[in-house]
Amino acid sequence: MEMDGLRIDKWLWAARFFKTRALAARSCELGRIQSNGIAAKPAREVRVGDRLHIVNEGGIFEVDVKGLSAMRGPAAVAQALYEETAESREARQRLAIQKKALDLISPLPEGRPSKRDRRRIIQFRGRG
């Protein structure tokens, strides 16, 4: 039996963009998922050939739907459900390079600030 359409929250979960279906549905409700340029609600049907714009903790993805599956399987099977656009892949790689460079320039402090440092931070932020 070939599926014609599938709920977008189920597809996002099966394609491993989110760990749970509830997280996928929540992301749809917050407007982080777009289907063919339109904000998608969790019950919206996704079909083969649709273009999805997905924002999650892994970055911003622009993907074309290549297959439908209501079951979550191994990563190799999940990656066969979509194809990421070249522009999206390049943008995520550029962002990763920029983030690494930023970490090298200003690393995070090791541990908690001392009382003196905390007072300076508060003063710098204009609250003191």
CATH number at residue 31: 3.10.290.10
In this predicted structure, what is the pLDDT of residue 107?
Answer: 76
Average pLDDT over residues 95-112: 84
For the record, the structure tokens of 110 come out as 């090791």
Q: How confident is the model at residue 1 (pLDDT cuts 50, 70, 90)?
A: very low
113 domain-assigned: no
Give the model confidence (pLDDT) of 56-94 as tens digits: 988 899 999 999 998 999 999 999 999 999 999 999 999
83 domain-assigned: yes
Q: How confident is the model at residue 128 (pLDDT cuts 50, 70, 90)?
A: low
Full DSSP string of 26-69 = HHHHTT-EEETTEE--TT-EE-TT-EEEEEETTEEEEEEE----
What's the domain range around 36?
6-107
116 domain-assigned: no
Average pLDDT over residues 1-10: 82
In this predicted structure, what is the pLDDT of residue 108?
Answer: 75
Name the domain count of the chain.
Answer: 1
84 by DSSP, 3-state: which?
strand
25 domain-assigned: yes
- The pairing of strands 51-56 and 59-65 is antiparallel
Average pLDDT over residues 89-109: 86
Average pLDDT over residues 89-111: 86
In this predicted structure, what is the pLDDT of residue 60?
Answer: 92
114 domain-assigned: no
85 domain-assigned: yes
47 domain-assigned: yes
122 domain-assigned: no
